[in-house]
Amino acid sequence: MKKNINATTVLDTNRRFHDEVEAGQYDNRMGVKFDAASRQQMIGELEKVAGCPLPREGIVLDVAAGTGNLSVNLAATGWFRRVIAVDISRNSLEVARKNAHEINARITPLCSDMQPLPLKDNTIDLIVGCAFLHHLPDPVQFMKEIYRVLKPGCPFIIVGEPTHIGAMIINGAKTPLVFLNTLKRWITHRPEKSIPWKHHHIDVHCFTKKDTHLLVESFSAVRIITEGFFEPIISQSFLVPIRTQINPQSWLHSFFQKLSFLSKKIDSSFLGSLIPGFCRTTLKLSGKKPSSFT
> Model's pTM, two decimal places?
0.84
Up-side HSE of residue 217: CA atoms within 13 Å toward CB?
Answer: 10
pLDDT higher than threshold 90 for residue 194: no
Report which of 118, 57, 66 is spatially closest to residue 91, judged by C-alpha positions: 66
Q: What is the pLDDT of residue 58?
A: 98
Q: What is the pLDDT of residues 124-170, one digit of tens each?
A: 999 999 999 999 999 999 999 999 999 999 999 999 999 987 777 76
CA dihedral of 57, 61, 62, 67, whole degrees rounded to 10: 90
Q: What is the pLDDT of residue 255?
A: 76
83 or 278, which is more confident? 83
Let me know if 157 is exposed, middle or buried by CB neighbors in 10 A (0-12, 13-18, 19+): buried
Q: What is the pLDDT of residues 241-281, one digit of tens each?
A: 565 666 666 777 677 777 777 777 776 776 666 776 777 88
Contact 70, 47 (CB under 8 A): no
